[in-house]
């Protein structure tokens, strides 16, 4: 069995700041999650047309802003003018899109930890991994605990590893495709982050035996959380910051 390196992150991670209780990937959401006691957050980062890492899950702007079209094809100047809160509720109307730097300042000022999912606009996988990793290394320089970089995109993780190999990385999976564990090891990952239903006694043992950590998304039911805790998994990403106490 491979020896696992120390894991500095807490078990509970707030998905996109506060799940569905506030507009995802906005500073309002991270403040909301923090108010519920969470000290680690997950976010999605992609690049504007002029190379600024900003927070957004979808490739298109339509669902979570008042903009239209592909976010990565617009400049940061244009993106910064959008309303990223009004779609959720009137209470959050006018909430702007944050840059990764905006969120880094919030986390560092409050001693919060971050899982940055590299979420490239299709066709920019390698570049997005490189830029996000460089920016993360710059922003967290000297910090006691670095951000944890994850992605579904192998090319994004390769890009991150090439420019900032010291930053911890995790491979995101929605299915256990052939060679999934070998891929994570080849990428130099410290963790596998997958759909919580994929974990069982055997898969957890494989991952832990390889010296990696086992994390799950997106866990919103108590029965699922209890199953994962009983299996000995290492991290749970949840929307339900109102249901699960991060001290649990």
Query: What pLDDT digit, counting tens, does each position of 61-99 carry?
Result: 999 999 999 999 999 999 999 999 999 999 999 999 999
Dist CA 33 CA 160 (whole Å): 27
> pLDDT confidence of 5, banded at 50, 70, 90?
confident
* pLDDT band with cut points at 50, 70 and 90 for residue 11: very high
In the block, tokens 């919060």 appear at 112
The mean pLDDT value for 23-31 works out to 98
**pLDDT digits 0-9 by tens, 207-233:** 999 999 999 999 999 999 999 999 999
pLDDT tops 70 at residue 248: no
Tell me the C-alpha distance between 20 and 29, whole Å.
Answer: 9
**Is 91 in contact with 83 (CB distance < 8 Å)?**
no
- pTM attached to this predicted model: 0.98
pLDDT tens track for 120-151: 999 999 999 999 999 999 999 999 999 999 99
Q: What is the rounded distance in angstroms from the CA atom of residue 51 to the CA atom of residue 93?
A: 26
Q: How far is the C-alpha of 150 from the C-alpha of 156, rounded, in Å?
A: 9
Strands 113-118 and 53-55: unpaired
Which active-site residues does the annotation give?
A: 15, 57
Lowest mean pLDDT among 2-16, 102-116, 152-166, 173-187: 2-16
Provide the pLDDT confidence category of residue 3 given band limits of 50, 70 and 90: confident
Query: What are 170's strand-pairing partners?
Result: 150, 191
Give the long-range contacts of residues 137-140, CB within 8 A, separation 24 or more. 137/164, 137/166, 137/167, 139/100, 139/101, 139/104, 139/105, 139/108, 140/104, 140/108
Q: How far is CA 129 from CA 23, 60, 88, 244, in A?
A: 25, 19, 29, 31
């Amino acid at each position: 069995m491979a020896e696992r390196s120390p894991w500095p992150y807490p078990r509970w991670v707030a998905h996109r700041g506060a799940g569905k209780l506030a507009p995802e990937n906005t500073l309002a959401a991270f403040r909301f999650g923090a108010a519920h006691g969470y000290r680690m957050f997950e976010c999605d980062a992609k690049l504007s047309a002029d190379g600024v890492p900003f927070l957004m899950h979808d490739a298109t702007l339509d669902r979570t802003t008042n903009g239209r079209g592909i976010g990565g094809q617009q400049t940061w100047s244009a993106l910064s003018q959008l309303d990223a809160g009004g779609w959720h509720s009137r209470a959050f109307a006018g909430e702007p899109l944050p840059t990764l730097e905006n969120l880094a300042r919030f986390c560092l000022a409050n001693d919060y930890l971050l899982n940055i999912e590299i979420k490239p606009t299709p066709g920019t996988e390698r570049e997005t991994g490189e830029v996000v990793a460089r920016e993360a290394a710059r922003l967290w320089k000297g910090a006691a605990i670095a951000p944890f970089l994850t992605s579904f995109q192998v090319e994004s993780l390769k890009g991150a590893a090439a420019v900032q190999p010291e930053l911890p990385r995790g491979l995101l999976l929605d299915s256990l495709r052939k060679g999934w564990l070998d891929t994570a090891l080849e990428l130099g990952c410290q963790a596998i982050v997958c759909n919580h239903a994929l974990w069982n006694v055997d898969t957890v043992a494989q991952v832990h035996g390889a010296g990696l950590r086992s994390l799950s998304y997106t866990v919103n039911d108590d029965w699922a959380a209890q199953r994962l805790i009983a299996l000995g998994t290492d991290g749970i990403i949840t929307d339900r910051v109102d249901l699960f106490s991060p001290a649990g």
